[in-house]
Amino acid sequence: MSSTETLDHAARSMALVDYRDAGALKSLPTRNGFGEGLIEAGTLNKDVLAICADLAESTRMDGFKKAHPAQYIEIGVAEQMLVAMAGGLAAVGKIPWIASYAMFNPGRSWEQVRTIMALNETNVKIAGAHAGVSVGPDGATHQAIEDIAIMRVIPHMTVVVPCDSVQTKKATLALTERFGPVYLRFARDKSPIVTTDATPFEVGKAQTFRAGNDVAIVACGILVYYALIAADELAREDGIDARVVNNHTIKPMDEASIVDAARACGAVVTVEEHQVHGGMGSAVAEALAAKAPVPVEFIGVQDLFGQSGDPIELIEYYGMGTAAIKDAARRAYARKRG
């Protein structure tokens, strides 16, 4: 539908696009934002390197390769090498961004990530491309839906999952500046851009994209847009006023904002393109169990593997679409009212 009213104050203070107006929305893959941010980071600081494992175009490192050939390193299909070599480069003062599919880095390289990047605290930045089932036709072997879990469990790690390509660019720049091991996760398929250049972004600071006090929908990644649409429809269809929180930094998580939302709303739905076990929803549930126990419903993949298919088809099939989010919100809302 095209909007007749203006967006609420939360959305306006975040300078969001009017996401209700399908005609006004532009879509781009989040990986494009990484590519743009990386080029800029390489211009700002010549110690920034991009190391690629035979996936320059897919990971969008190809732009950096053109812009900064002297700062670009190709090592072939060798993801463990990617992490270990980057650890060495970081040890001598470089800021290496390393990119592959999330399934292979950090998927294949996890122990190197834990020891060399985290335990040994080196300034290595991982870009995990093609995360989630929205990878599509490549199928389960290439759909990383466990990566948030295996990264957020590592001490000292920073884990960021931006909501659109504009935010991914900001996150790339911010994470380049932040010392220490970092994991940035993004997706393959194009997805609606809800933020603008004017939208603030700070690592570790969750963002309220829609005001509301009946139920809090805490989302990350490309499903933030789905959460906003679900919230809008819930208001019209059920009179349920949902708060939508973009919980882009899963580690260190903005517990204060999450606890605030839970206390104000009394019920929470978490939304992520990841297994329900161990991911962002689990991080939220851990925090709330300790500090503000309220009913929580989890949107994500329910302990299954992905499969080949069309991205949207898969998001729907695995219960992560707008209808599923609305149902979960209704359940959470009913549970809080007993």
Ligand X SMILES: Cc1ncc(C[n+]2csc(CCOP(=O)(O)OP(=O)(O)O)c2C)c(N)n1
Q: Which residues bind another protein (CB under 8 A)?
A: 52, 54-58, 74-78, 80-81, 103-104, 107-108, 136-142, 307-310, 313-314, 317
- Going 302 to 306 to 308 to 310, the CA torsion angle's sign is positive
Q: Which is nearer to ligand X, 104 or 226 (CB)?
A: 104
Q: Which is nearer to another protein, 100 or 275 (CB)?
A: 100
- Per-residue burial over 278-298, b if 16 or more Cβ lie within 10 Å, else e, is bbbbbbbbebbeeebebbbbb
> Any contact of residue 187 with ligand X (CB under 6 A)?
no
Q: Which is nearer to ligand X, 96 or 300 (CB)?
A: 96
Using the structure block, give the residue that is written with the tokens 């599923």: 324
Active site residue 79: yes
287 binds, among ligand X, another protein, none (CB under 5 to 8 A by kind): none
Q: How far is the CB of 106 from ligand X (least distance, A)?
A: 12
Q: Do the beta carbons of residue 250 and residue 283 sit within 8 Å? A: yes
- Give the interface segment with ligand X, choosing from 13-21, 100-108, 122-130, 198-206 (CB under 6 A): 100-108
279 binds, among ligand X, another protein, none (CB under 5 to 8 A by kind): none
Q: How far is the CB of 145 from ligand X (least distance, A)?
A: 17
- Interface of this chain with ligand X, residues 39 to 78, rule: CB under 6 A: 54-55, 77
Q: How far is the CB of 104 from ligand X (least distance, A)?
A: 4
Q: Do the beta carbons of residue 230 and residue 332 sit within 8 Å? A: no
For 120, what's the count of Cα atoms within 13 Å in the CB-facing half-sphere? 17
Q: Which is nearer to ligand X, 106 or 192 (CB)?
A: 106
Q: How far is the CB of 32 from ligand X (least distance, A)?
A: 19
43 binds, among ligand X, another protein, none (CB under 5 to 8 A by kind): none
Size of the site for ligand X (CB under 6 A): 7
8 binds, among another protein, ligand X, none (CB under 5 to 8 A by kind): none
Q: How far is the CB of 303 from ligand X (least distance, A)?
A: 24
Instruction: Please count the other Cβ atoms lying within 10 Å of the Cβ belonging to residue 93.
Output: 8
Q: Which is nearer to another protein, 55 or 284 (CB)?
A: 55
> Any contact of residue 104 with ligand X (CB under 6 A)?
yes
- Which residues partner with 216 through β-bridges? 243, 268
> Any contact of residue 256 with ligand X (CB under 6 A)?
no
Strands 249-251 and 158-160: antiparallel
Q: How far is the CB of 99 from ligand X (least distance, A)?
A: 11
Interaxial angle between packed helices 165-177 and 30-44, expressed in degrees from 0 to 180 and rounded to the nearest 10? 30
Q: Please spell the DSSP secondary structure of 172-238, one letter per residue.
A: HHHHHHS-S-EEEE--SSEEE----TTS---TT--EEEE--SSEEEEE-TTHHHHHHHHHHHHHHHH
List Cβ neighbours of 308 (8 Å cut-off, separation of 6 or more).
136, 137, 138, 139, 140
Q: Which is nearer to ligand X, 100 or 176 (CB)?
A: 100
Select which of 5, 40, 79, 286 is catalytic. 79
- DSSP element (H, E) containing 287: helix 280-291
- Per-residue burial over 130-142, b if 16 or more Cβ lie within 10 Å, else e, is bbbbbbbeeeeeb
- Going 63 to 68 to 70 to 71, the CA torsion angle's sign is negative
Q: Which residues bind ligand X (CB under 6 A)?
A: 54-55, 77, 79, 100, 104, 108
Please list the active-site residues.
79
